Chain A
Amino acid sequence: MQLPNPGARHATQTLGWLLLLPLIAAAFFGGNAFGLRDRAFPAPTTLSDQSLSQAAGQAINHTNELPAQPYFVTIATPSGSGNGTRTVSVASDALQWKVDWQCDSGSISIEARQSVAKSQPIAHNAACGGSGENYAVNSGTFTLAITAAGDWRLQVQQQLDRPQNSPPEAAMTAAGSSVLAGGSFYGIDQQGQGTARIYHLADGSYALRLENFYVTPNTDFIIRLSVLQHPGSTPQFIANQYADVAPLPITAGSFNFPIPAGVNPSAYHSVVIWCDRLTSAYAGASLTAA
């Protein structure tokens, strides 16, 4: 660019130097210096950074196992009055665990002890008359040391991302029950695999079983039935009639779900895993009559 006079050249030079400032800022921001980018654009998740790291590590190192969206399962519900100790065992592959407490009077302190040197405070002189919760890490056997004046109740939950496998309901294999339709999952907006099977039970009701199932992890999933034979996209799915079956709390494994009484599965031709949080059809399974 030809600059007509020294004044314009000087202004251009100054502008050039000034433009370096946003460039430097972008370089720091793009490198997530001081966690700036993560704070400006937080991931829409309730998982702690430590849980994310552990889940990521497990996924990259366990190449044959498909992880589920991390979910909490209850491992103990101890209760008591006054001071006491309780033992809990946290699975070796748990991402983290937590204690929810309720107490009636005074205050409560809870400490998770694994050894003399390793203890984690869960609650410290927390006022009673209500409830609270706190998280802990590491796995193995812990002694919960409770210091309280009155009655207390605890719920200890561990967070896992391994598939959960439930056997078929007895009613599904009982005499008089039959498979109405079934099919294999495929990805729509995300990945899906495994099978879906609709059972007509002896009592006239219907049930759905997902087997060796996996869908790209996320939360707020709903299992839906669609009149389409092979939904190929979210807009196509929502433009046609569908019915809700049940929420899907765990994203990998084998599970059973009762189909609501008002839904006639014969009128539908596919199962769709719907993510309500993202309004997205994640995966589908085309149903063919058994």
Chain B
Amino acid sequence: MTTASAPVTARPVPTFRLGSRDIKVIKPSIRDVRLRLAAIIISLQVLGQTLLGFKISVAQILITIGFCALLEFGVVLWRDGLLAWPASGMLTGNSTAFILRTTGTHHADWWSLNGIEWFIAAGAVGLLSKYLIRIDGKHVFNPSNAGLVAILLVGGVTNVFPQYLWWGPLSAGVGLAFGVILFGAWWILRPVKMLRMAVAFWVTLAVLIGVLAATGRCFVAVWHPGAICGWNYWVDICTSPEVLIFVFFMMSDPVTAPRSQAGRVFYGVATAVIAVALLSFQPAEFGIKLAILASLIVTCAMVRGINRVFPAKAERAFQPEALWPAIRPGRGWLTPAILAVVIITIAAPVDTAVLAGNARVTAVELGLGGTQ
């Protein structure tokens, strides 16, 4: 999810010596936008545990956050010689635990460790994608999105599933959750200048899903008796709290999004178009959620190109020959990293598309031989 960099401080950085290395200590900043995002996600987790019947335990949430925090703490200490509060890692863990669910976990089973290995794997894959797949010093994919897509595809519908599109019939809890999400959107997207991107995504999604709904598309979901078609198809996808969280708090990561406003609008529109193209033939909610998540994998891989086509004001004018300046073989991680980006960018949408033809996915959403 959104991982804006911490503000730079002009004060001298405290340093201590560990073995042969000088270790700098980076203190957390109260102005860090990531703290706002953490506050919103934790608020929603509390609502999920108390009012919304989320099928995730407190233990699963805490272990996922703790594991990601430790992993990032260790990597940053080893790689950069920094003793830093692992805000990004904790956010990755929090976001992963917010969306991922393991089959057989019951609501209110607070200390269940059911399927904890999937949470740890998702956090590990997400953070490894951040630290291993880097081009010109920057990671390409949103860590929690990459981890979720990988684990949902590898684990499959019998082991894992994403949080439901809808969180129950309209109630005080659902209304409160919408309030928190919309407040969070305003509170977080404004400082990182992502509001236009979010609007571009949602409007495009709403129009295209409207076309699908009008042409008779349906899907089945384990939380809904019978197929969801027509007006409900549109409502359940476009106004889904999960979709709003995806666009407000995951797509809006400034590190993996384009730099210019025009680029961000294009990025929003492109993500929606790819998402709708992938979900248009999915008969089950599992495939629809994965289609939306996988669309971000594709557009994150396009960001360097988008930055060239829609450069920020301070950057040079568009030069077509410089579209992919990073493709310069023979620079350590560079070539494997680019190949990894290519493999992931192809595999995520293709593997998601293949789900549509897997009857087991639909059958599990019907409750046949599955336990979501």
Contacts and interface: CB of A to CB of B under 8 A. Distances in A.
Interface of A: 1, 3, 9, 12-13, 16-17, 19-20, 23-24, 26-27, 29-32, 37-38, 41-47, 49, 52-53, 55-56, 59-67, 69-70, 187, 189-191, 193, 214, 216-218, 232-236, 251, 278, 280
Contacts of A193: 225
B344 interface: yes
B132 A191 contact: no
A235 B226 CA distance: 28
22 contacts: A3-B332, A12-B332, A13-B333, A16-B132, A26-B150, A30-B153, A30-B347, A41-B159, A43-B360, A43-B369, A44-B369, A56-B283, A60-B220, A60-B227, A61-B227, A69-B367, A70-B368, A189-B107, A216-B225, A218-B367, A218-B369, A233-B53
Interface string B142-155: 00000000100111
B218 interface: yes
Contact of B336 (A13, A27, A190): A13
A55 B369 CA distance: 12
Contacts of B350: 31
B371 A278 contact: yes
A163 to B, nearest CB: 11
Contacts of B333: 1, 12-13, 16
Given A31-B350, A66-B226, A233 B106 contact: yes
B79 interface: yes
Contacts of B332: 3, 9, 12-13, 16
Contacts of A41: 155-156, 158-159
Contact of B227 (A12, A52, A63, A235): A63
Nearest to B107: A233
B364 interface: yes
B358 interface: yes
B102 interface: no
A191 B150 contact: no
A2 to B, nearest CB: 9
A26 B149 CA distance: 11
A190 B339 CA distance: 43
Given A29-B154, A30-B347, A278-B104, A190 B367 contact: yes
A30 B150 contact: yes
A52 B363 contact: yes
Nearest to B366: A59
Nearest to A234: B106
B226 A280 contact: no
A45 B360 CA distance: 10
Interface residues of B, number: 55
Contacts of A37: 154, 156
A29 B351 CA distance: 9
Contacts of B255: none
A232 B224 CA distance: 18
B369 A47 contact: yes
Contacts of A217: 366-368
B211 interface: no
A274 to B, nearest CB: 12
Contact of B283 (A29, A47, A60, A280): A60
Given A9-B332, A30-B153, A44-B369, A60 B218 contact: yes
A152 B219 CA distance: 46
A23 B154 CA distance: 11
A34 B118 CA distance: 23
Closest 9 CB pairs between A and B?
A: A45-B369, A30-B153, A16-B336, A56-B362, A27-B347, A217-B367, A53-B359, A233-B108, A216-B367
B225 A31 contact: no
Nearest to A24: B343
B218 A23 contact: no
Nearest to A282: B367
Given A37-B156, A52-B359, A235 B79 contact: no
Given A30-B153, A60-B218, A63-B218, A44 B226 contact: no
Contact of A26 (B154, B284, B370): B154
B172 to A, nearest CB: 15
A280 B109 CA distance: 11
B225 A27 contact: no
A42 B364 CA distance: 12
B176 interface: no
A32 B104 CA distance: 22
B340 interface: yes
A251 B368 CA distance: 11
B227 A32 contact: no
A59 B360 contact: no
B158 A44 contact: yes
A234 B132 CA distance: 42
Contact of B340 (A23, A187, A214, A236): A23
Contact of B108 (A53, A64, A235): A235
